[in-house]
Amino acid sequence: MNKSELVKKIAESADISQNDATKALNTLIDTISVELSEGGRVDLIGFGSFSLKHRNARTGRNPSTGEAIQIAAANVPSFKAGKALKDACNA
């Protein structure tokens, strides 16, 4: 399912226009992105948790040449599924 299909499903389920569903979805995505960029965490009980994890700098290899390269440290977004979501996937 892509974003436009998700918007269509939200609009049908909530009985709202696709424009309103798009605004709601974009607001959700933007809010989660801003919270994570500020070092915060977003917990949606039953669905899951979005958080930020730190990945240390490391040495990697260029697959074409085999040359060693330095990979910079980075903060990466992480999602951990909640119990209700896990149960729904295994029903």
**pLDDT tens digits for 75-88?**
999 999 999 999 99
Question: Which two three-digit tokens encode residue 20?
Answer: 């309103």
Q: Helix or strand or coil: residue 46? A: coil
CA distance linking residue 85 with residue 89, whole number of Å: 6
- Our count of domains for the chain comes to 2
Q: Are residues 24 and 55 in the same domain?
A: no
56 near 75, Cβ under 8 Å?
Answer: no
Q: Are residues 54 and 32 in the same domain?
A: no
| Predicted model pTM | 0.80
Q: Are residues 86 and 46 in the same domain?
A: yes
Q: Are residues 50 and 32 in the same domain?
A: no
| CATH number of the domain bearing residue 59 | 4.10.520.10
Residue 11 has pLDDT above 90, yes or no: yes
**pLDDT tens digits for 42-73?**
999 999 999 999 999 999 999 999 999 999 99
Domain that holds residue 14: 1-38
Q: Are residues 34 and 46 in the same domain?
A: no
